[in-house]
Structure 1
Amino acid sequence: MLLIRKATPKDITSLALVGKKAFVTPHKEAIPSEIMTNYLNRSFSKKTLLKEITNPNYQYNLIFVDDNLAGFSKVVFNEKNENIKETNVTKMERLYLLEEFYGLGLGNKLFQYNLNLSKNNLQKGIWLYVWIKNFRALEFYKKAGFKKIAMYDFPISETATRPNNVLYLEF
């Protein structure tokens, strides 16, 4: 059985575990271990997740397969991007699946959920950053209709960045 639901503060521990594991999969060869550890601890700390889950502009959506958390998404409503003229657009900050759930169409189901959520919240489009060497994600977003509109140096630490494409899907 497949279920998608909004995350609550009770989900923080499992959300942190899945987030760390899902981030490492495409990035493990490209980010030095010390930088990776610091990024994961900062980005997926219980304090950070609680702050975001309780912020009304953020929404975490969990996807379950047979009561197993397979992944999640994080969207931020009305998050302006300097490369997009519209102001009421959604930023999709995360669309993560655990590797053992790849190939089941779950990423698309979660993306469609976010797309409908954005449209229902009167957004004009959805945008995101994706690392230029995350070929699996780049292909996924291309098939979904996203267009590359810019480049962005994503800060992975205080001293290191990773080149990312800025992708946009206008509704």
Structure 2
Amino acid sequence: MENIEISRVTVNDIRLLQEIGRKTFYETFSSSNTEENMTKYLEEGFSEEKLISELNNTHSEFYFAVIDDKVVGYLKLNFGASQTELQDNSSMEIERIYVLQEYHGKKVGQLLYDKAMQVASEKKVNNVWLGVWEENPRAIRFYQKNGFVEFDKHIFVLGDDEQTDIMMRKDLSS
């Protein structure tokens, strides 16, 4: 098994973040969505301006998973008001864990997840939550295996398509 390093992303890594963000999102969702909707989302969701503003936000953190100097996945965490929902200081959102398809099954996602839980512990949050597309059974199983339970649903808009995300939470307060 290759050595996987987890490192904090800075604004100097903007190009790499844009590249891994677009590539992993495309790999994960392109087969289930129209090319127009994918293109629109990839341009807007991973624009340089948007990523710079997210990287400069003190309530968000990005981490890369790196194997042999190659970025193979990344993690985005949100705290406080930066969370897409809930927005209370006692919780943390895992907004994104994405891994290149060729590295699926190599524990990269688990290591990024472990990093998220380490940060949650350092920040002393009571719970960690996330939204996962209802048609992504692989991700849903991964989070269930790690102790997350469904608590709500919300709508995620991709281009002109409204999709349902299952919101899952893990209680850390016990």
After TM superposition, give the deviation of residue 164 of structure 1 in Å.
0.9
Q: Secondary structure at the match of 1:126?
A: strand
Tell me the alpha carbon deviations over residues 118-140 of structure 1, each in whole angstroms, 9 at most, x when there is no partner: 11012111111110111111111
Matched, 1:135 2:145: no
TM-score by length of 2: 0.91
After TM superposition, give the deviation of residue 112 of structure 1 in Å.
0.6
Q: Which amino acid aligns with 2:165?
A: N
Measure, in 1, the Cα distance between the counterparts of 2:59 and 2:42.
22
Measure, in 2, the Cα distance between the counterparts of 1:156 and 1:88.
29
Measure, in 2, the Cα distance between the counterparts of 1:12 and 1:3.
18
Q: Secondary structure at the match of 1:28?
A: helix
Q: Secondary structure at the match of 1:56?
A: coil
User: Size of the alignment, in residue pairs?
Assistant: 168
2:9 to 7, 10, 14: 7
Q: Secondary structure at the match of 1:145?
A: coil
Q: Secondary structure at the match of 1:55?
A: coil
TM-score by length of 1: 0.93
Residues 98-137 of structure 1: pairs in structure 2 closer than 5 A: 98-137=100-139
Select between 23-32 and 115-124 the one with higher mean Cα deviation.
23-32
Partner of 2:164: 163
1:77 to 68, 76, 79: 79
CA contact (8 A) 1:77 1:123 kept: no
Give the % identical residues: 26
Unaligned runs of 5+ in 2: none
Tell me the alpha carbon deviations over residues 136-165 of structure 1, each in whole angstroms, 9 at most, x when there is no partner: 1111111111000011111223x4211110
Residues 4-153 of structure 1: pairs in structure 2 closer than 5 A: 4-78=6-80, 79=83, 81-82=85-86, 87-153=89-155
Unaligned runs of 5+ in 1: none
